[in-house]
Amino acid sequence: MLLTTHILIGGAIGQAVGNAPLGFALGAVSHFALDAIPHFDPGIWSDVTKESGENIWDKKIWAFVAVDLLATLGLLIVLLPQSLSLPFIAGALGGASVDLIDNVPFWQRKIHQTRIGKQIGKFHNSLHFVKKEILRKNAMALLVVQVVIIGLIFWLIEL
């Protein structure tokens, strides 16, 4: 899933439970659940499997990640005045944490060299929907669905 989706859903969960530690934990759990659903993310263009231990991001993936990060920042700036309670922030961090730990090329190799990092990577990968032919074929539809989901969650948070 996109970082924007993970952050908003994690944040919404944190806000719903109203407790920062629980929000963080449930945000992280939501990450794994969301990744199991067939979805669009820039990883669908990467042929590198986690077996090799590392993602290699080409220009297209970097560009998409940049747009995703900017969208996330933009949404958080819009939400800041109304919704950003501590449980929301904790849930959003929980939602983002798995990808931040497991998928960022700058520190991915180092993290995978640790025992816990390797286990997180294995678990993350085992749950992630990875049938890339299906995802690539339906990339645009899956992206539109995810943007609609983001819109719905954004609307829910605003309520």
Report, in Å, the least distance between residue 65 CB and Zn ion: 13
Cβ neighbours of residue 157 closer than 8 Å, sequence gap 6 or more: 8, 11, 12, 15, 79, 83, 88
CA–CA distance, 7 with 32 (Å, rounded to integer): 13
Q: Would you say 29 or 85 has its CB closer to Zn ion?
A: 29
Give me the least distance between CB of 11 and Zn ion, in Å please. Answer: 16
Residue closer to Zn ion (CB basis): 29 or 83: 29
Complex with Zn ion: residue 68 or 99, whichever CB lies closer: 99
* Least distance to Zn ion, CB of residue 20, Å: 22
Q: How far is the CB of 41 from Zn ion (least distance, A)?
A: 8
Closest alpha carbon to 87 in 20, 136, 12 = 20
Binding residues vs Zn ion (CB under 5 A): 35, 99
Of 19 and 46, nearer to Zn ion (C-beta) is 46
The residue among 101, 128, 125 whose CA lies nearest residue 112 is 101
Tokens of 115: 């025992």
| d(C-alpha 78, C-alpha 29), whole Å | 25
